[in-house]
Amino acid sequence: MLLNDLSSSVDLRPVRYQFATVRGDSYDDNWLVIDGTVTTPEGSWSFADPCLLTNEARQVSTWLRAVAAGTVGVTEPDAEGELSPDTWFIEPVVAFSLADRSEGGTAVIRIHLSLEAAPPWQQGDGGADIYQYVVEVRTDTAALLHAADRWDLALASFPPR
């Protein structure tokens, strides 16, 4: 799933289950390793981390489609300027929020990247800034729906176990 504009891009892909064999544990059996490649004006990096459960991964395309349909509200920073995603998961590695929406159907998506997904120059801070590093991507409805479709297609190889 590629979310990009002229200055930034975030490409996320499920690549494998964390554990190849079923262990009989609903969590361990369903962790997906997500491969990410990120490009921003500040720099580029990649990561691979078992950060989404199979059922959580399916929420990503649902959220993208909801943004495309206009049913997700813009998330503003709180009084202290802290950002909170409106879609987050057990592992606080990747999360999403809507930064802005325009009349023409354009949306600015925030991809929150923390811990293993954070840029190398921000790693090692002890996790104090969970969800605060974001990549904002300006995109339109068609691109959101295309990203959701690509994500679902990639997840077809990873059913819940």
Structural domains of the chain ordered from first start: 2-155 (3.30.2450)
Model pLDDT, residue 160: 95
* Single-letter amino acid, residue 67: V
Q: State pTM to two decimals.
A: 0.94
Q: What is the pLDDT at residue 127?
A: 53
Any residues with CB less than 8 A from the CB of 109 and at least 6 apart, and which?
A: 3, 67, 96, 97, 98, 99, 136, 137, 139, 144
What pLDDT sits at residue 103?
80
pLDDT at residue 125, as a whole number: 59
| Three-state DSSP state, 122 | helix
| Euclidean distance between CA atoms 57 and 130, whole angstroms | 19
**161 residues of the chain, pLDDT tens digit each:** 999 999 999 999 999 999 999 999 988 999 999 999 999 999 999 999 999 999 999 999 999 999 999 999 999 999 998 999 999 999 999 999 999 998 878 999 999 999 999 999 887 655 558 999 999 999 999 999 999 999 999 999 999 99
